[in-house]
Structure 1
């Protein structure tokens, strides 16, 4: 594993630093806790059995196929721009400081390699897009799905991947992270706050109310919670201050197979009857007009 990333990792059992074992494909801490590196490139930093199963191989494959078409590039572009602004701000002494900062506190020095962490990274596509915009940064994809991590481990040459449950303590040092991405994934406010540098930035992407709205009634999909923004704020408000919030939209013209893919990669995949979906899809006129609408919240630690 890249030493620039390894230096930020911590043992999920005792919190000690991790090092590459010379005799095995594993990471090991001074207390001899050992964590295997899978042949697909990700390290297993999960302790015990996670109650969250993560995305299935079918869901991950559907997501990878759909993302490869560029249909969700509006999300990648928004994240890359926000991350570039955040990392640039880290070295700006005139930038607004967190509420807890004092006049004596100087902007942190991340050295040559700011760390970008994607909590709930899935295939790692969004992390890869951010790293492409930040040539001096390194990245870490965290997810509880092994099929997702097999892809995330190859998302970018400057990225690594680790199996970890984001509801538990994250396997990272305190204040180790410059930018933390959270895209359509669970949010662990206390842990996000702990691992972010006081001048770091949390970027949260959630579906807006009209995201894929054209498909909801037609295909009987799950609806976006109209109180989603309030719930996000409640889960993070005690630890973060909202700096900005913007909705990013794009119109898509999809084939029926692409519609099936977008359904199969999201939460509706757990609740949709396959036979009924096939019947409804067959009745759709092509191209199928669909709206992508996501909210990007930019937050900083309190």
Structure 2
């Protein structure tokens, strides 16, 4: 795309306005998106407040360390794009902001939620953000990305393979089976798919090789407000009964564990 003032123009002569907040809406649809598509403002604000307490800092540190390892192996004079697919409000990209000492590094995020992209653009002012769906063609050139981040978000294996050339990186974060186990039992949260890592590995095996897996276990002792934010910030919020929030406010602190796995794939 070429930028002309506050507008981007694609090769097919479609034009997209750059919003005042610094993002671009690239969803080519005139239909109003259902409220259940993407994260709602309530979910995003709850997640922002929860992350502000650094509960998931060990996970963001693990992602940052893995990204830094790959950057250290790369010629720093080359343009280097990191794309967060399903970036939400920009928390994980923001944790990478201080590695921008890498001269040619560009942080970019996409999400189907316009509210999410708006928050991300404010949070990471040096980043580049656009609204788009992972289910279609991601509007970036072939082999233009160095690292794709995919953190608790839908995937598009074909597009990921198209955007990455050989020996470039795909970092996927998934929950482990014991993630928030005590809260799942107490509040009836959505179950986690069994054998998730192996299913992802098999789905990607034609074009990606799984190089490393890094488990992250975070003991949590949450305040009632943290608990409410945790319940509101994920798709669980759409499935919980109306009395959940009163129950959360009256619940004594329940020790639980946030359990994740960082999967590092390389393009074959």
> TM class by shorter-chain length?
over 0.9
Instruction: Count residues with an aligned counterpart.
Output: 263
- For residues 215-294 of structure 1, the aligned pairs below 5 Å read 215-275=183-243, 277-286=244-253, 288-294=254-260
Superposed displacement of residue 279, structure 1: 4.1
Residues 206 and 294 in structure 1, CA contact (< 8 A), matched pair in contact too: yes
Q: Deviations over 1:210-242 (max 9, x none)?
A: 111120011111121122212222332222100
Question: Which residue of the partner structure matches residue 62 of structure 2?
Answer: 78
- For residues 120-135 of structure 1, the aligned pairs below 5 Å read 120-135=86-101
- For residues 8-27 of structure 1, the aligned pairs below 5 Å read 18-22=1-5, 25-27=6-8
- For residues 208-219 of structure 1, the aligned pairs below 5 Å read 208-219=176-187
Cα distance in structure 2, aligned partners of 1:197 and 1:134: 22
- 1:181 corresponds to 2:149: yes
Unaligned runs of 5+ in 1: 1-17, 92-109
Residues 131 and 138 in structure 1, CA contact (< 8 A), matched pair in contact too: no
Question: Which residue of the partner structure matches residue 171 of structure 2?
Answer: 203
Question: Which residue of the partner structure matches residue 121 of structure 2?
Answer: 153
Cα distance in structure 1, aligned partners of 2:196 and 2:218: 20
- Change over 3 Å in CA distance of 1:282–1:60 after alignment to 2: closer
Q: Deviations over 1:31-73 (max 9, x none)?
A: 4210121222210111225677211111111111111111111
The alignment's TM-score, normalised by the length of structure 1, stands at 0.82
The runs of at least 4 consecutive aligned structure 1 residues that moved more than 6 Å come to none
The alignment's TM-score, normalised by the length of structure 2, stands at 0.92
Residues 218 and 280 in structure 1, CA contact (< 8 A), matched pair in contact too: no
- For residues 91-110 of structure 1, the aligned pairs below 5 Å read 91=75
1:123 is paired with a residue of what secondary structure? Answer: coil
1:177 is paired with a residue of what secondary structure? Answer: coil
Residues 87 and 179 in structure 1, CA contact (< 8 A), matched pair in contact too: no
Residues 25 and 114 in structure 2, CA contact (< 8 A), matched pair in contact too: no
1:90 is paired with a residue of what secondary structure? Answer: coil
Question: Which residue of the partner structure matches residue 66 of structure 1?
Answer: 50
Cα distance in structure 2, aligned partners of 1:131 and 1:299: 22
Cα distance in structure 2, aligned partners of 1:160 and 1:293: 30
Give the root-mean-square deviation of aligned CA atoms. Answer: 1.8
Cα distance in structure 1, aligned partners of 2:97 and 2:106: 7
Identify which of 38, 50, 53 aligns with 2:37.
53
Question: Which residue of the partner structure matches residue 14 of structure 2?
Answer: 33
Question: Which residue of the partner structure matches residue 12 of structure 1?
Answer: none
Question: Which residue of the partner structure matches residue 87 of structure 1?
Answer: 71
- Change over 3 Å in CA distance of 1:282–1:151 after alignment to 2: closer
Unaligned runs of 5+ in 2: none
Cα distance in structure 2, aligned partners of 1:274 and 1:230: 35
